[in-house]
Amino acid sequence: MPEIASADSLNLIDLPSELESRLIEIGSSLRPWDVRGAHLASSTMEQYRAALDSAPLFREFRHLLLAALDGEVGGYAVVRLGNIVQAIGAGEQFLRLATAILAEVAVPFQPFKRWPLWKEIGTDLDAKPGLSTGTGYNAFHMDLVNATRPPDYTTLLRVRPDPLGAGASILSDAREAVSRMSATSRAHLADAAFSYGGFFELSDVGEEYGPFPVLDDEPASRGFVRFTAKMLAEPGLDDQHAHAAAELAEQLVAGQISHTLQRGDLMIVDQHRWVHGREPLGDGQRNVAHADRRLLLQLFLRRAGA
């Protein structure tokens, strides 16, 4: 029987052809999802799970995926679905399949009321370079850092890579980075002295949190390392706290890993442990047709019962 391969160094998960073939069939037959409130409906999750469980080797894949996300050296995974997207395209059928796979990890939900379940992250040449839709370096951050209940997982699906070959996704283990810092800096990071971002038209993320501490006294399964490099530029941050945050930013870069996502790659990041960002896109984006520029889709997950 074929085995599911995982490249431990990058937490990459490749699917055997037998499983890919069956998932292609399943993706072509899954029903549209239903969202109740902000969450994927339990009836949809049950239907999707029943379909996936019929696929050979899917339960082995689920075990490998959850181990990559929850293991001692885990916290993120990249599932390679390129052959499937090549077969059925990146439209609704593929998104239903990707949603079904993510529902095996946690509950897909829609924190932004003004966007659909899958939020598009395109390439805007007129946006500030450091934004998610920009073309420059997108520094390390967690999503919805200023919410009392940020999403437990953020996921990114690469629909189109940068045709110029750049724009690698970057990741860093924030808890490991904190462990390398001085006790004095860690104490400053535990102060509610940091702020960033707006807060409106949101669901199931609690209340606005600001100022917030970078470090809390919660266990890793519940707490967060609330970090975004953009908070360093916020007015009112005193020198001591700015220095501690800058030290954390340096440690995050020191522990950085990168992966250039290919078409169909699905990256899942545990926000309780990891932060993410992006290297700059390739020079010459204005020479690339709009329909060919880098495109990602983002979906958020809430742990059941969280």
The CATH number linked to 268 is 3.60.130.10
Backbone phi and psi for residue 141, each to the nearest 5 degrees, phi listed first: -165, 165
**Confidence at residue 74, expressed as pLDDT on a 0 to 100 scale:** 77
Nearest partner of 142 among 131, 151, 133, judged by Cα: 151
Q: Is residue 167 part of a domain?
A: yes
pLDDT digits (tens, 9 = 90+) for 72-84: 667 999 999 999 9
pLDDT digits (tens, 9 = 90+) for 58-108: 999 999 999 999 866 679 999 999 999 999 999 999 999 999 999 999 999
Q: Is residue 199 part of a domain?
A: no
Q: Is residue 16 part of a domain?
A: yes
CA–CA distances in Å: residue 13 to residues 3, 5, 89, 203? 11, 6, 20, 31
Nearest partner of 248 among 262, 264, 228, 233, judged by Cα: 228
Q: Is residue 162 part of a domain?
A: yes
pTM of the predicted structure, to 2 decimals: 0.94
pLDDT band at 306 (very low <50, low <70, confident <90, very high): low
pLDDT digits (tens, 9 = 90+) for 214-223: 999 898 888 9
What range defines the domain where residue 97 resides? 5-173+254-302
Give CA–CA dist 190/241, Å, rounded: 10
The β-bridge relationship of strands 76-80 and 12-14 is parallel
Write out the two tokens for 108. Answer: 């897909």
Name the DSSP class of 194.
Answer: B
Q: Is residue 201 part of a domain?
A: no
Domain count, the chain: 1
Chain centre to alpha carbon of residue 178? 20
The β-bridge relationship of strands 265-270 and 153-160 is antiparallel
Q: Is residue 69 part of a domain?
A: yes
